[in-house]
């Protein structure tokens, strides 16, 4: 198979269903050998099965591609290490890491249990950090050995991480953390030939079917704007050598739309040159807010 990822090896976490599956298939279609990671859990993280990962591997191989399943838990150090080792032992190299694994434990803040908070932080944030750390250690070793990689990392954030989402305090906080991790990793890993970017996708998956149930049903014969496969072309390009020079950026992708997101930037400012009194500070803040762009509403806010 040939394409813009020919000769490259990509790891995709959470690749047994939804967006991860679409990414894995699209990477393989463009020539990449793919490590398909998935625990096969339910939408809330319960249970587990090797079936989803193996099924995606079979799909890739049926179309002439190369793939191997990895069913380890990438939120543990051993599982994340074995993920990287699987790529190296099976295909001899690692060129791209697509961090995508996740699940939901949605509750309003006052009903959000500590276990629900910890579980979502573990899979979304720690599940990004540990694979990234082990992949980065490999790429650093390659650089020190005189073989500077041309490597890529694509992290998965969310509109909830950009704006917040009512009923998803844990998920929003974790996905905002992914953005911070992306920016730091892009700065730190550039010296090792690694580019790191983040994506905030919108698509029809198990995680979103209840949220968008009224707007997500595809119309026969029309463009299915919520299909996960619409997001994957950008992921493939970000994982390819063609994306040279693009790092530390955040994209939104939905249907046929791609948006470069522009994060926190200084807006109106006022410097007194001395300490403010509380009243003065309040007056200054109100004046600055009047001159600033209005904040975008949190998803689900009335």
Annotated catalytic residues are 158, 171, 175
With beta carbons less than 8 A apart as the criterion, state whether 125 and 157 touch.
no
* Strand residues in 88-236 grouped as ranges (E): 96-99, 151-156, 194-202
HSE-up of 191 (CA within 13 Å, CB side)?
7
Q: What is the largest CA-CA distance in the chain?
A: 70
Q: Are 13 and 35 in contact (CB under 8 A)?
A: no
- CA nearest 185: which of 159, 152, 138, 148? 152
Q: Select from 26, 15, 50 the least CA-distant residue to 238.
A: 26
* HEC profile of 33-59: EEEEECCCCCCCCCCCCCHHHHHHHHH
Residues 6 or more apart in contact with residue 125 via CB below 8 angstroms? 174, 177, 178, 181
């Amino acid at each position: 198979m040939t394409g813009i990822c020919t000769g490259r090896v990509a790891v995709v976490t959470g690749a047994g269903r939804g967006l991860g599956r679409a990414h894995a298939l699209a990477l393989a279609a463009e020539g990449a050998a793919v490590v398909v990671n998935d625990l096969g859990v339910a939408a809330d993280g319960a249970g587990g099965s090797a079936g989803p990962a193996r099924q995606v591997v079979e799909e890739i191989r049926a179309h002439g591609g190369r793939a191997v399943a990895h069913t380890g838990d990438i939120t543990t150090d051993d599982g994340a290490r074995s993920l990287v080792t699987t790529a190296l032992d099976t295909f001899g190299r690692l060129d791209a890491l697509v961090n995508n694994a996740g699940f939901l434990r949605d509750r309003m803040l006052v009903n959000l249990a500590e276990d629900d908070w910890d579980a979502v932080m573990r899979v979304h944030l720690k599940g990004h950090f540990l694979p990234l750390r082990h992949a980065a250690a490999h790429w650093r070793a390659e650089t020190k050995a005189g073989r500077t990689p041309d490597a890529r990392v694509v992290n998965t954030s969310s509109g909830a991480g950009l704006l917040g989402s009512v009923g998803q305090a844990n998920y929003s906080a974790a996905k905002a953390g992914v953005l911070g991790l992306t920016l730091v990793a892009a700065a730190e890993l550039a010296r090792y030939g690694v580019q790191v970017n983040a994506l905030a996708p919108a698509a029809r998956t198990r995680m979103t079917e209840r949220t968008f149930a009224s707007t997500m049903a595809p119309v026969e014969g029309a463009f299915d704007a919520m299909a996960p496969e619409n997001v994957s072309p950008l992921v493939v390009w970000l994982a390819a050598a063609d994306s040279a020079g693009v790092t530390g950026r955040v994209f939104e992708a939905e249907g046929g739309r791609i948006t470069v997101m522009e994060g926190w930037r200084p807006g109106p400012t006022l410097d007194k040159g001395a300490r403010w009194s509380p009243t003065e500070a309040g007056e200054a803040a109100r004046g600055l807010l009047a001159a600033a762009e209005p904040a975008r509403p949190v998803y689900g806010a009335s």
